Amino acid sequence: MTHTPEPDEDNDLAPAPRPVHYAEQALLGALLLEPARLADTEPLIAHHFDSHTHAALFTAIRTLPPPDPADHAKDTAWLNAVLEHARPHAPGLSASYIHSLIQFCPQPKHAAAYARMIRADNARRVLRGHAERLASTATDPGLPNPAAATLGMADDICRVLDALAEQFAPHPGSFPRTALPADVPRQAGEEDLDEERLLLATATAYPAEVQQMRWLTEADFLLPLHAALWQSITALVHRGDMVDPVTVLGEAQHRGLLTGSLAPKDVMVLVSTPAGSPEYWGEKIVKRALLARAQTVAARITAYTDDPANTPHQLITGSRRALADLNALRTRWMRATATPPAPAGSMPALRGQPPRATGPPPQPALPSPRAHR
């Protein structure tokens, strides 16, 4: 929450107050003038306020018994009690600011509208905070299971959106017109590229496993050349053709991949040194794509919250649309990591056992045409 300065403080260098600042002032002025208006503010709570000082005042107003309207019109006893209750939590608060709030309120009977503005701004801040945590989780190298943690953060955002949808009514034209940022750039480290090369080689060596890997798509790859070669391999597999380095080379030729910078021997090298299993390397590639998509989703939700033109319902609609892209990848990730059914008569898997073997450590980098990076 921000600090609310006194009206006479030198504020020339401070940023201009946002609209919610005036809504908070107007609401508090209405409640100080007509305490019975507190019933019109439900379900507003102190946590919804952007200003710490305003939150302390609102808490005092809610805590103290309301005064008799006739007595309140004749003296300031209740106002003094509110000030004394709030001051320990907002030391800079003064009697002059209390009275300035009363003077600032345009219409006490509009208290409900001011409360809705405050709640709407709080919804924006809460959603933005969750988007920041999603981005932070997706890029945290210290997490033991970053994919699960990231998807958990996405679930938290879904719950927030469901709660906000119950509080704010929909309206026509509800999709935001915010200009969205570009997808977060994916950094292609040498280890990441090695994993893609090893996938191509092991998929060529064990094409039967590729038949079950429809959860991996060319969009998951970092290098376009690797994505195109994956398409070549899967095309052969799904047609039922024979798969080996030479047939993959032939498919790559038909797809126009051979150029002056990519010679046939380069393709043969890429698909001729298997290690581990295709599923092991494929899971790594999908996980990397999942984390990258989560960063893009977080950036889009943040852009929606940073656009003051968006209403709460527009924030909800836009954020759900962004999360839909992540959910599509979540579905493929769940298929990739699902535990395969045990053969008949075998012992069931122990609880907590990983769905797949950990696979071999990354092998030394295989030669790859640098011009295609």
Per-residue pLDDT of the chain (373 residues; tens, 9 = 90+): 554 555 444 445 567 889 999 999 999 999 999 999 999 999 999 999 999 999 999 999 999 999 999 999 999 999 999 999 999 999 889 999 999 999 999 999 999 999 999 999 999 999 999 999 999 999 999 999 999 999 999 999 999 999 999 999 888 877 898 998 888 788 889 999 999 999 999 999 999 999 999 999 999 999 999 999 999 999 999 999 999 999 999 999 999 999 888 999 999 999 999 999 999 999 999 999 999 999 999 999 999 999 999 999 999 999 999 999 999 999 999 999 986 655 555 444 433 333 344 454 444 333 343 344 3
> In this predicted structure, what is the pLDDT of residue 205?
97
Q: Across-strand partners of 259? A: 262
Q: pTM score > 0.85 for this model?
A: no
Q: Is the dihedral of CA 229, 139, 287, 334 positive or negative?
A: negative
> In this predicted structure, what is the pLDDT of residue 373?
39
Q: For residue 301, what are the CA distances in angstroms to 168, 213, 278?
A: 18, 31, 35
The whole-angstrom separation of Cα 153 and Cα 159 is 10
Question: Which residue, 21, 18, 32, 100, is CA-closest to 61?
Answer: 32
Quick one: 199 exposed, middle or buried, by C-beta within 10 A (0-12, 13-18, 19+)? buried
Question: Which residue, 187, 213, 191, is CA-closest to 202?
Answer: 213
> In this predicted structure, what is the pLDDT of residue 369?
39
The whole-angstrom separation of Cα 57 and Cα 66 is 14
Q: Which amino acid is at 318?
A: G
Residue spans per domain, the chain:
19-106, 123-338+362-368
> In this predicted structure, what is the pLDDT of residue 14?
61
> In this predicted structure, what is the pLDDT of residue 354?
35
> In this predicted structure, what is the pLDDT of residue 21?
96
> In this predicted structure, what is the pLDDT of residue 212?
92
> In this predicted structure, what is the pLDDT of residue 361?
43
Quick one: 145 exposed, middle or buried, by C-beta within 10 A (0-12, 13-18, 19+)? exposed
Q: Which fold has domain 123-338+362-368?
A: DNAb Helicase; Chain A (1.10.860)
